[in-house]
Amino acid sequence: MTLEDLQRTMAAAIMQPLTADEQMGQHNSAGRPMSDVAGEFIQPNSRLTAFERLEIYNRQYWFRLQGAFAEDFPALRSVVGAERFEVLTNAYLGAHPSRSFTLRNLGSSLHAWLLQNPQYAGPRLALALDVVRVEWACIEAFDNAELPPLTAQEVSAINGDSRLSLQPHVRLLALDYPADDLVLAMHQQQKRESTEAGARSENDSDPVQRMRIRKRPTWLAIHRTDLSIYYKRLAQPEHRMLVSMQAGASLAEALDTAFSESRLTPSSRVRLVQQWFTNWAELGWICNPPQ
């Protein structure tokens, strides 16, 4: 084998999914015995066969993926339950194994996959989908770029034809449930558990029932400030305007979209928009469209 052949062979071997009892499968995807595959590039020793030595890497690779996935989606786990979450994790990672240099991208296809495979979410599918969107938005908000915000001079030159953009780390969501409450609570619990030797004071009860999460339209912005993630609830017109601006609409077009169903008087609309822009400017959300 060349070095590249060896790397590809081993990668394919350790990346194949584990069996239901978390062991390495006896055959690869082509039906070839894994003992033969392992024997091509691994020597047995006095204690372990080539298959058993390769199995160590195979299991540790998948345990690492499963652990990273659970760290990224603790609120989803609380919605679907621990046992169902384990099944969901293995099915999703089998369909979407890691293809990136970073485990950050593991959950990038989860929302689309769950839409196509709703049986893995159980009876709370709609809530699970909202929770996934919030948890993935948190990952994006933490990692996405930050551009220079508009200067005071640039703000003063804004008119109806201006086309503005939002910071790439600002993620906008329209949800059926106030899923941010649950996500925030579960992420805070996750942090406590990591510093309290795994203590789970509230783990005996269902957090969805305990927090009385009920269906209610919710508009949300998730953003980053000083390397911390924050949630900001939005009014529907404000959300519409931000989404429109983010999509490249002019300021006049975004305003029309924001108030298309509003009965507010023109003066009330002006006051609202002034308040929004003041908040957005303070948060540094508004910037020039990327070139």
Per-residue pLDDT tens over the stretch 43-66 = 999 999 999 999 999 999 999 999
- Dihedral sign of CA atoms 26, 30, 35, 41 in order: negative
Q: What gap in Å lies between CA 245 and CA 178, rounded to an integer?
A: 24
**In DSSP terms, which residues pair with 231 in a beta bridge?**
222
Q: What gap in Å lies between CA 105 and CA 98, rounded to an integer?
A: 8
Q: What gap in Å lies between CA 76 and CA 186, rounded to an integer?
A: 9
pTM across the whole model:
0.89
227: left (phi over 0), alpha (psi -120 to 50) or beta: left
Per-residue CA distances from 98 to 41, 61, 95, 135 (Å): 23, 10, 10, 18
Domain of residue 244, residue span: 147-177+217-291
pLDDT of residue 203: 54
pLDDT of residue 88: 97
Element (H, E) at 174: strand 171-175
Does 290 score more than 90 pLDDT?
A: no
Quick one: how many helices (H) and strands (E) in the chain? 13, 5
Average pLDDT of the segment spanning 36-47? 94
pLDDT digits (tens, 9 = 90+) for 258-272: 999 889 999 999 999
Q: What is the dihedral of CA 71, 109, 123, 192, to 10 degrees?
A: 10
Average pLDDT of the segment spanning 208-236? 94
Average pLDDT of the segment spanning 22-34? 93
Q: Residue 199's pLDDT band (boundaries 50, 70, 90)? A: low
Q: Residue 212's pLDDT band (boundaries 50, 70, 90)? A: confident
DSSP secondary structure code for residue 33 in this structure: B
Q: Environment class of residue 211 by beta-carbon count within 10 Å: exposed (0-12), middle (13-18) or buried (19+)?
A: middle
Residue 199 forms part of a structural domain: no
Does 195 score more than 80 pLDDT?
A: no
- Beta carbons within 10 angstroms of residue 47's beta carbon: 7
Residue 155 forms part of a structural domain: yes
Average pLDDT of the segment spanning 227-254? 96
Q: Residue 211's pLDDT band (boundaries 50, 70, 90)? A: confident
Does 201 score more than 60 pLDDT?
A: no
Coil, strand or helix at 59:
helix
Residue 236 forms part of a structural domain: yes
Q: Residue 1's pLDDT band (boundaries 50, 70, 90)? A: confident
pLDDT digits (tens, 9 = 90+) for 166-181: 999 999 999 999 999 9
Element (H, E) at 224: strand 218-225
* Residues ≥6 apart with Cβ < 8 Å to 234: 172, 219, 220, 221, 242
Q: Residue 145's pLDDT band (boundaries 50, 70, 90)? A: very high
pLDDT digits (tens, 9 = 90+) for 87-126: 999 999 999 999 899 999 999 999 999 999 999 999 999 9
Look at 187-191, 232-236, 243-247, 279-283 and tell me which has the smallest mean pLDDT.
187-191
pLDDT of residue 196: 65
Q: What gap in Å lies between CA 138 and CA 232, rounded to an integer?
A: 12
Q: What gap in Å lies between CA 13 and CA 89, rounded to an integer?
A: 20
Residue whose pair of structure tokens reads 């005996």 in the numeric block: 204
pLDDT of residue 191: 79
pLDDT of residue 136: 98
Percent of the chain with pLDDT over 70: 96
Coil, strand or helix at 95:
helix
Residue 225 forms part of a structural domain: yes
Q: What gap in Å lies between CA 284 and CA 272, rounded to an integer?
A: 18
Residue 127 forms part of a structural domain: no
pLDDT digits (tens, 9 = 90+) for 129-144: 999 999 999 999 999 9
Copy the structure tokens of residue 167. Answer: 């910071």
pLDDT digits (tens, 9 = 90+) for 69-84: 999 999 999 999 999 9
Q: How many domains does the chain have?
A: 1
Q: Considering only CA atoms, which of 178, 182, 231, 229 is closest in space to residue 202?
A: 182
